[in-house]
Amino acid sequence: MIAAALLVAAALMALAGGCDKRMSDEEAAKAADEIIARDFPDMVDAEKSVQSYVIDERDLYEVAYGKTVEYQTETGTISAPRIVVVTIDRNTGEEIVAVSD
């Protein structure tokens, strides 16, 4: 899944290369939600945390999705947090996805 997300990010970077329009918060949030729905459908009902920041002149919008999931082990069922973070460069459209699995 991460490889697919990175391929999508590369394709979007290529498409957005000539784009001078900065993504709004709403557009970035929608893009992040679309990635979750497509690549991590079990996380669509997760809690969300949103932040915006600038690093090295990159205007970033980040959405962290988190929830507790259950895993089966040899000794039984355990509960653990699962986190997916989608970071979007609002100037280029580049998408970076990190998963806690």
Query: How many whole angstroms separate alpha carbon 62 and alpha carbon 82?
Result: 16
Residues ≥6 apart with Cβ < 8 Å to 57: none
Q: What is the pLDDT of residues 33-87, one digit of tens each?
A: 999 999 999 999 999 999 999 999 899 999 999 999 998 999 999 999 999 999 9
**Does residue 94 or residue 13 have the better pLDDT?**
94
Which segments of the chain does DSSP mark as H helices, in order? 2-16, 25-39
> What pLDDT is recorded for position 12?
47
Q: Where are the domains of the chain?
A: 2-99
